[in-house]
Amino acid sequence: MAIKEVLGASLNSEIKVASKARGLKPFNIVVIVIVIALVALFAWSEKSRREQARQLKQTSQKLNELTSSNQKRMEEVEKDILAKVRMHVEIPDDPKPVILTVLDAEKLKKDNPFYEKAENGDHLVVTSKWAVLYSPKRDKVFGASSVTPEQAAETQNQANGNGAPASGSPIASPSATPKAKP
């Protein structure tokens, strides 16, 4: 009987150990699945991050190319406008003149009679002493005015995106005309 009891107790303990091992098995499987899912999620997010970084680099390069191309084009346009204006009046090279494009001629006409003949697309060429209103469509200078150093500096700041004109202060107001080219 002792052997049966020993074998029975041993058999019962083996059954308990086996049932405990089976109880841990599903938990281990869940942990392994979660770890695999986390690794897969990390790998996917890293792949996505690298792809987005690559696209950002490409977009940045394209933007730099466009900006450079646009800057070169703007310099060519400025040279062309200055050459055309210089056919009508003397414009000094130093300091570099600022060229602004008229976008809302009607508003300018209301604000200042200097712009009376201005049309959208005309250009205001501002030097340290003069402001010249030029129409490339008509190839004519329609107005010239002296400007103060403060107005010229304000125009330069506007052209560089460093500020807006103070309210009520015109960029140029009509007065004497610049010396015409012979």
The number of distinct structural domains making up the chain is 2
Q: Please tell me whether residues 72 and 95 are part of one structural domain.
A: no
Q: Please tell me whether residues 156 and 113 are part of one structural domain.
A: yes
- Residue after which a domain boundary falls, among 86, 119, 154: 86
**pLDDT interval class at 150 (50, 70, 90):** confident
Within 8 A by CB and 6+ apart from 145, the residues are 114, 130, 131, 172, 173, 174, 175, 176
Mean pLDDT of 101-111: 89
- Residue after which a domain boundary falls, among 86, 109, 124: 86
Q: What are the tokens at 100?
A: 């602004």
pLDDT at 132 over 70: yes
In terms of C-beta density within 10 A (0-12 exposed, 13-18 middle, 19 or more buried), how is residue 130 classed?
Answer: buried
Q: Please tell me whether residues 45 and 99 are part of one structural domain.
A: no
* Distance, CA of 182 to CA of 65 (rounded, Å): 42
More confident residue, 32 or 144: 32
Q: Please tell me whether residues 94 and 161 are part of one structural domain.
A: yes
pLDDT at 22 over 70: no
Where in the sequence is the domain holding 178, given as residue range(s)?
A: 90-182
- Residue after which a domain boundary falls, among 63, 86, 109: 86
